[in-house]
């Protein structure tokens, strides 16, 4: 009787495998829940109602207003500098109304009034030169040439983006790795149970042969 009961008990290695499997299952589920609530849902909301269009530059201008940015010059060295506001107004193939162009969603959230935020340098003059270079780029190199832009009529009807921060690849990885973690955990648990079941059957067959 004691031998039969011991045969159904998991060994230390099998017990560790089961714990690892359940840990991976829990980690996968929690990752999906956390990413869905904190990151994936806002990303899908940004993409919802959006799409791509052809944009054409209408005007490129610098405003007199300057905005603050934070630069870093070492581990314990931080400061504030200023940069001029560059606005690139475009017309999209979806609407005749002018829209303000932005680099991406992150830049739009950081400064919705401007089209470009330069890498923050300690010298205000360097920041101004970076913005002026970008202004020349849109005026001279792009000019009236159409280019692809992205919009969201529900969230930002008066703004368009040059590129998306949350593209299909990022969303795929957001789903992929938690699901893989969950499936690996399930596989470990199933293989451990199957191995234990086969071991018990082999032990039972062995006993029958000896009888």
> What's this model's pTM, rounded to 2 decimal places?
0.58
Per-residue pLDDT of the chain (211 residues), as tens digits, is: 444 444 557 788 888 888 998 999 998 888 877 766 655 555 555 554 567 888 999 999 998 889 999 988 776 778 899 999 999 999 988 777 899 999 988 888 889 999 999 999 889 999 999 999 999 999 988 888 899 888 776 667 788 988 876 555 566 667 778 888 889 999 999 998 888 888 888 877 777 776 6
**Count of CA atoms in the C-beta half-sphere (13 A) of 58:** 14
Are 122 and 170 spatial neighbours (Cβ–Cβ below 8 Å)? Answer: no
Is the torsion defined by CA of 141, 145, 150, 154 positive or negative?
A: positive
Backbone angles phi, psi at 142, to 5 degrees: -90, -55
Domain ranges of the chain: 52-165, 167-198
- What is the full DSSP assignment across 127-196? HHHHHHHHHHIIIIIITT--EEEEEETTTEEEEEESS-SS-HHHHHHHHHHHHHHHHHHHHHHHHHHHHH
Local structure of residue 121 (DSSP, 8 states): -
């Amino acid at each position: 009787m004691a031998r039969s009961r011991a045969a159904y008990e998991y060994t230390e290695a099998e017990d560790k495998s089961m714990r690892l499997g359940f840990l991976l299952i829990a980690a996968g589920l929690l990752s999906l829940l956390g990413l869905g609530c904190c990151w994936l849902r806002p990303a899908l909301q940004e993409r919802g109602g959006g799409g791509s269009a052809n944009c054409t530059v209408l005007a490129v201008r610098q405003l007199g207003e300057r905005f603050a940015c934070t630069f870093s010059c070492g581990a314990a060295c931080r400061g504030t500098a200023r940069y001029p506001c560059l606005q690139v107004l475009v017309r999209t193939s979806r609407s005749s109304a002018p829209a303000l162009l932005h680099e991406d969603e992150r830049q739009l959230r950081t400064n919705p009034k401007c089209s470009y935020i330069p890498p923050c340098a300690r010298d205000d003059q360097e920041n101004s030169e970076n913005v002026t270079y970008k202004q020349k780029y849109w005026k001279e190199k792009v000019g009236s040439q159409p280019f692809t832009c992205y919009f969201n009529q529900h969230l930002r009807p008066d703004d368009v983006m040059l590129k998306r921060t949350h593209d299909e690849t990022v969303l795929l990885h957001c789903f992929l790795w938690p699901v893989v973690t969950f499936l690996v955990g399930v596989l470990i648990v199933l293989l451990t149970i199957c191995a234990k079941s086969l071991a018990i059957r082999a032990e039972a067959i062995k006993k029958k042969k000896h009888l």
